[in-house]
Amino acid sequence: MEWIAPLLIVLASVAAMEWVAWASHKYVMHGFGWAWHRDHHEPHDRLLEKNDLFALVGAGMSIAMFAVGSPLVMGAGAWWPGTWIGLGILAYGVIYTLVHDGLVHQRYFRWVPRSGYARRLVQAHRLHHATIGKEGGVSFGFVIARDPARLKAELKRQREAGIAVVRESLGG
């Protein structure tokens, strides 16, 4: 039963990372970090984007937590949950890479879901990309996707209020 606490910490860390990802996407990437994130919202034919630098930030968070939890690094001052938090951050990074980069942007494989939650994820993220520029927008999370109909209504409200410029392809 010694594995229950570490497992719960890993699972809680994965769940918490969706909130961290949402907040950093909304307030950092679409805020002062726009210089790194902009090319992710613009068409290009490059293999890598400046936006990929954010993956290094996530990796740094995971590595830092592994270090904090390691007696080899911290000696007697090691904080044992740090290792499991680091593993949760790493697991979220793998999920993010498969879902966002793989499924939604098809950087690694080609599959267009026709139904279910995978389709909802793709639709929600495409609606996120429906705006031009960093202002406004919807669906800043990566794994939890709101109802696309509600997201479309929110985009329409933002466009009418002058908060966001919506691409014409959305019907806007």
Judged by DSSP in three states, 144 sits in coil
pLDDT per residue as tens digits for the range 43-58: 888 889 999 999 999 9
pLDDT band at 95 (very low <50, low <70, confident <90, very high): very high
pLDDT at 172: 45
Beta-carbon contacts of 82 under 8 Å, excluding residues fewer than 6 positions away, are 65, 66, 67, 68, 69, 70
Question: In this structure, is the dihedral angle defined by the CA atoms of residues 92, 98, 99 and 104, taken in order, positive or negative?
Answer: positive
Interior angle at CA 20, CA 18 and CA 51, nearest 5: 95
pLDDT band at 169 (very low <50, low <70, confident <90, very high): low
Res. 79: pLDDT tops 90: yes
132 backbone dihedrals φ, ψ, rounded to 5°:
-105, 125
Res. 78: pLDDT tops 60: yes
Res. 170: pLDDT tops 70: no
> Which bin fits 75, alpha (ψ -120 to 50), beta or left (φ > 0)?
left
Distance CA 154, CA 169 (A): 16
pLDDT per residue as tens digits for the range 112-153: 999 999 999 999 999 999 999 999 999 999 889 999 999 999
Per-residue tokens: 139: 């669906």
Say if residues 138 and 164 touch (Cβ distance below 8 Å).
Answer: no
**Number of residues written out for the chain:** 172
Distance CA 39, CA 50 (A): 7
**In the predicted model, what is the mean pLDDT of the chain?**
94
